[in-house]
Amino acid sequence: MDIRERLLGAAAQVYAEAGYRGATTRRIAQQAGVSEITLFRQFGSKEALMLEALTAASRTAVLALPDEPADPVRELSEWSRGRFETLFRIRSLLRKVMSEVEEHPEIIDCAKSYPRHPVSFLEQYVRRLQARGWAADDINPKLAAAMLVGAIFTEAMVRDMIPEVYSYGIEEALDGYVRMFLRAIGCEAGSVATRQP
């Protein structure tokens, strides 16, 4: 791993632990095993480093869906599992960003910096299902996508905070969300295999 990547990883980790103010350049440099001078040579400022670190972390959360749907249950289950695992892994960072966005509104730009948000990926997948006749034409693909993405995000953010509410297993939850989502968009899992594109 090169110095720049080490610094980006260290900045995200320290930010998740200590927030923007606590993520000092000294602490980040120590975590990365470099000097503060090296940090400033690479990024110029703490602000530039933090924005790039948060942008890099947010990009790891984007997963693709197939261009040609074949098995919506399997494809969406795999996508949902990958999305949950990624979000759960960076949940401390995401929580910190959400808690500090009013004080540091510039950090929200990192979420807007990558071209296709997960809702967009899922929206396009729903449109492909509609084109094949596997989803109802009268549903709003963006709204449906936001619903599933929101459910997965909530699982990742609060599952460990209130386990009494989320007492079921994550596999059961993700399977249920995918099946309810498919039902909501008019894509009955059992009938897809028998339909022709």
What is the CATH classification number for the domain harbouring 144?
1.10.357.10
130 and 188 in a single domain? The answer is: yes
40 and 77 in a single domain? The answer is: no
Provide the CATH number for the domain around residue 48.
1.10.10.60
User: Structural domain of residue 66, as residue ranges?
Assistant: 60-192
Instruction: Count CB-CB contacts under 10 A for residue 191.
Output: 9
50 and 101 in a single domain? The answer is: no
107 and 176 in a single domain? The answer is: yes
68 and 160 in a single domain? The answer is: yes
pLDDT tens series, the chain, 197 aa: 799 999 999 999 999 999 888 999 999 999 999 999 999 999 999 989 988 888 887 666 567 899 999 999 999 999 999 999 988 988 888 888 888 888 888 777 665 554 457 888 899 999 999 999 999 999 999 999 999 999 999 999 999 999 898 889 999 999 999 999 999 999 975 455 444 44
How far apart CA 54 and CA 48 sit, in angstroms, is 10
75 and 140 in a single domain? The answer is: yes
76 and 170 in a single domain? The answer is: yes
- Among 58, 73, 97, the domain boundary falls at 58
- Among 24, 41, 58, the domain boundary falls at 58
97 and 121 in a single domain? The answer is: yes
How far apart CA 71 and CA 46 sit, in angstroms, is 46
End-to-end alpha carbon distance in the chain? 45
pTM value?
0.81
How far apart CA 20 and CA 110 sit, in angstroms, is 14
- Among 39, 58, 77, the domain boundary falls at 58
17 and 82 in a single domain? The answer is: no
Query: Would you say residue 197 lies in a domain?
Result: no
Number of domains into which the chain is organized: 2
93 and 166 in a single domain? The answer is: yes
DSSP structure string for 24-36: -HHHHHHHHTS-H
Under 8 Å between Cβ of 81 and 1: no
75 and 168 in a single domain? The answer is: yes
User: Length of the chain in residues, anyone?
Assistant: 197
